[in-house]
Amino acid sequence: MGATAVDGGSRSSEPLRFFLHFVRGRWFSLFASFLIMAGAGATYLFGVYSKEIKSSLGYDQTTLNLLGFFKDLGANVGVLSGLLAEVSPTWFVLLVGAGLNFAGYFVIWLSVTGKIAKPAVWQMCLYICIGANSQNFANTGALVTSVRNFPESRGAMIGLLKGFTGLSGAIMTQLYLAVYGNDSKSLILLIGWLPAALSVVFVYTIREMKVIRDKSELKMFYICLISTIVLALFLMVITIFQKVASFSAAGYDASAAVSCLLLFVPLVFFVKHELALWQKRKTANEENPTTKITVQTPPPPTSEGNEANRKDPKVSWLANIFFHKPKRGEDYTILQALLSTDMLILFVATFCGMGSSLTAVDNMGQIGESLGYPTKTIKTFVSLLSIWNFFGRIFSGFFSESLLVKYKFPRPLMMTLVLLLSCIGLLLIAFPTPDSLYIASIVIGFSFGAQLPLLFTIISELFGLKYYSTLFNCGQLASPIGTYVLNVMITGHLYDKEARNDLAKRGLTRADVKELTCIGPHCYRLAFIILACVTFFGAISSLILVARTREFYRGDIYKKFREQAEQEVEMPVTTSDASKR
């Protein structure tokens, strides 16, 4: 009878034990990373609330583009978060990001709503830079940790995580419409508290863990892919319906609820998958208390690896950085990678491609206004950018991985094709036709989304994973520099010049109007012709990288990682040990 009572107590505590096992495991950590990344794309909503900043604070287009530059500067200068991740735990990185997010955007909301005195331009630049910089802490904490927890699925992992960031704009648009109504100022408040809250809630669940080999891992990623595609399609359809029909408050509530429900679909499959593994492990331990499982461990250093990374004491540190670099695919030091020719080419391609794409994204609201689209339609363009940003990210993650494995198709060549596609979208804005901005927003959103996963994955492939948290953040530094040159110095300047010409034709001066606005297809024509030419130059640059790395990609670039996975250590596990896992 005593034994029966013990067995009954054990069975009654089984759900609790599984729950604790699951929330401490890597699949729940992955789901938490999905949610954090889904809230880390607030910078892509700048086109929605930028007009509120412009009108409330009386800025001209050049000043607004300057704000856009500092937003992109903060979003892409992630060196601090990368270095912080090298020396501190993930939870601290996420908490710092949450604090920066709330502080930056909350003060912007106070400024736009007039609750505090109008800040100077440099102060607004600082606020938006701080708020946008929080995105890097979320990226570093969630993305790098997830890639290390699932090291054999790097391409798919980066594509999925960046895909959720791409969907972030559309998801948060639905939430703000449901919570605050059609009020762009309240959107700033939402992006101030919601991403910060997500990081705080899941701060202790995202951490590096021991990797247990799972043959169903890739299957689970494809389930995630399908569920997120369904979410993206729903967001696209509901966005179109909200444009052509008048939605009530209940309608906005329903669309937001369905969006959140679809966002949580992967969690259902993760629970089911983890439960199956739990029951299988429990059965095996009941049959044999010393059941053995395999745990992935790194292989012993090879002579080739030692030779590649060994520093000759007779050679200066300067020579090691410039002349004695490891082979492609081995672990570079930070300086070896940053000062390499391959990284320089990636920098140029990113400067041209990301700089031009971000310029288009940041100006989408003003582009729609100059072409005579209503405000509601302009918000549709921004949502379409966000949705197709997602499709570009998962495409470049999953499709480029498949082409690489099956056909040795080099990832830099995929980047070249993406940049050429971006040229088409930019030219559609330079030479608009009726409703062409819909197509342009889709093309630019897709190509813009595809570039980041390709950049991050190429960096991991060429320079190794040892200092990846720092290198992938350094790799995107070209983006804000490109945005400043192409957006502030070229696009904003040319737009204001066209607007002043329009005022002169009407016999007015800048002092006669509160807001400098240009209406007509000529407003952005010259600027986007220049952007298309710059992007084409970036495509040519990436072709040079294709030529330099063709032998590397013809080889088996994942051989090292498969060998690590095959170096298994058998460890005896008791039932209690299994439950802890």
Residue by residue, DSSP assigns 139-177 as IIIIIIHHHHHSGGGHHHHHHHHHHHHHHHHHHHHHHHH
Extract the tokens encoding 93. 């990185």
Q: Which tens digit of pLDDT belongs to each residue from 168-215?
A: 888 888 888 888 877 778 888 898 999 999 999 998 888 887 766 667
Output the CA torsion sign for 310, 311, 313, 319: positive
- What are the helix (H) ranges across 327-435? 334-338, 341-362, 364-370, 375-394, 400-407, 411-430
Name residues whose C-beta falls within 8 Å of residue 556's C-beta, 6 or more positions apart in sequence: none
Residues 76 and 480: beta-carbon distance below 8 Å: yes
The domains of the chain, with CATH numbers, are 17-280+328-555 (1.20.1250.20)
SS3 per residue for 27-42: HHHHHHHHHHHHCCCH
Residues 226 and 132: beta-carbon distance below 8 Å: no
Per-residue pLDDT of the chain in tens (581 residues, 90 and over written 9):
455 554 555 566 778 888 888 888 888 999 999 999 988 878 778 877 888 888 888 887 778 878 888 887 788 777 888 888 888 888 999 999 999 999 999 999 999 988 888 889 899 999 999 999 898 898 888 888 887 787 777 777 888 888 888 788 888 888 888 888 777 788 888 989 999 999 999 988 888 877 666 677 778 888 998 999 999 889 888 887 887 778 888 888 899 999 999 999 999 999 998 888 888 777 766 666 554 444 444 444 444 444 444 445 555 656 666 667 788 878 888 888 888 899 999 999 999 999 999 899 888 888 888 888 887 777 777 767 777 888 888 888 888 888 887 888 898 999 999 999 999 999 999 998 888 888 998 999 899 889 988 998 899 888 887 888 888 888 888 888 888 899 888 998 898 888 888 888 877 776 667 677 888 888 999 999 999 999 999 999 999 999 999 889 888 776 666 566 555 434 444 444 443 33
Compute the C-alpha angle 142/160/334, nearest 5°: 50
pTM of the complete model beyond 0.85:
no
CA separation for the pair 29, 16 (Å, rounded): 18
